[in-house]
């Protein structure tokens, strides 16, 4: 039992809308096996067990925004072992943040990847990017990439 969903477009996350989108959850390139159910914002497991959970985001540092942190929420509760973040220099083009954890999940547990932006932060959003800019810049030689991905693999029963 396993799944791989991803997003191939830019997206902006905020305190009000922290959930990462996966616009390719139903595409032929997404992989769902063993009854895992995917939506544009989540994966739901049909069988209890231990799962490897891997997520990755591609983060675009811009002026005034240099930090990003994310974590997996199971049924609305943050799983501390899945937290990861990045501090980037403003002059960098892109950076990535990712995490790999093993979670014991129950039947119908729903997983979401969310940005962790403190409500009292002066940074109010995180921008995920879906392109690398090769020279010449400004769209002439852009290479599409995935802005976010979420993968789960069942390891065994709990």
CA–CA distance, 54 with 81 (Å, rounded to integer): 11
The confidence band for 99, taking pLDDT boundaries of 50, 70 and 90, is: very high
d(CA 100, CA 48): 19
For residue 38, give both structure tokens: 């995917």
pLDDT tens for each residue of 120-154: 888 888 889 888 777 776 767 788 888 899 999 99
Q: What is the mean pLDDT of residues 26-41?
A: 94
CATH number for 109: 2.60.120.40
pLDDT of 64 over the 70 cut: no
At residue 158, the pLDDT reads: 44
Beta-bridge mates of residue 84: 70
Burial 90-119 (b: 16+ CB within 10 A, else e): eeeebbebebebebebeeebbbbbbbbbee
Look up the domain containing 87 and give its range.
2-156
Number of domains in the chain: 1
Question: What is the model's pTM?
Answer: 0.89
């Amino acid at each position: 039992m396993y799944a791989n969903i991803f997003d191939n477009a830019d997206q902006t996350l905020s305190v009000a809308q922290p959930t990462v989108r996966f616009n390719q959850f139903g595409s032929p390139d997404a992989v769902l096996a063993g009854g895992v159910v995917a939506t544009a914002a989540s994966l739901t497991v049909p069988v209890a067990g231990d799962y490897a959970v891997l997520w990755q985001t591609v983060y675009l540092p811009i002026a005034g925004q240099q930090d990003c942190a994310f974590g997996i929420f199971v049924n609305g509760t943050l799983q501390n072992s899945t937290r990861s973040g990045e501090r980037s220099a403003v002059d960098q083009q892109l950076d990535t943040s990712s995490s790999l954890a093993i979670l014991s999940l129950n039947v119908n547990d729903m997983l979401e990847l969310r940005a962790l932006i403190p409500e009292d932060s002066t940074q109010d959003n995180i921008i995920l990017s879906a392109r690398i800019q090769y020279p010449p810049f400004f769209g002439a030689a852009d290479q599409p990439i995935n802005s976010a991905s979420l993968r789960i693999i069942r390891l065994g029963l709990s």
